[in-house]
Structure 1
Amino acid sequence: MSTWRKSSYSNNDGGACIEVNDAAPGHVRDSKDPDGPFLTFHPAAWQAFVRAVAASEFSQARG
């Protein structure tokens, strides 16, 4: 069973939101199109991305 979870940064204004599938790590979809396609990333690549985001590696203010 798929368990999709919306980003905690999402709101109900219809902005650019994503959902991730907790039952299948690496599956990502547009929250506004739940019946549409989804992206699939290798679990190791997805975990590396999540770690990099958590470490602010994509911040524009890096020195």
Structure 2
Amino acid sequence: MRDEKMFSHEGTAIELLTLVFTVTGVLLIAWFIHHQYELRSRKRVKKQQGGSQQPSAQNR
């Protein structure tokens, strides 16, 4: 009986950890998709500009 009260918060802690990891995973996936989109759009801009312009300091 004593053990049940001692670990009564365990379910809530597991739910919170699951929520935190789920939100972190979703944000990581969203960032990755955004990053890939940025890389692809940057490549398209470079192709459209051609070699006539000097590369700016902003491009990495």
Which TM class, normalised by the smaller chain length?
Answer: under 0.3
TM-score (norm 1): 0.25
TM-score (norm 2): 0.26
Q: Which structure shows the bigger proportion of residues in helix conformation? A: 2
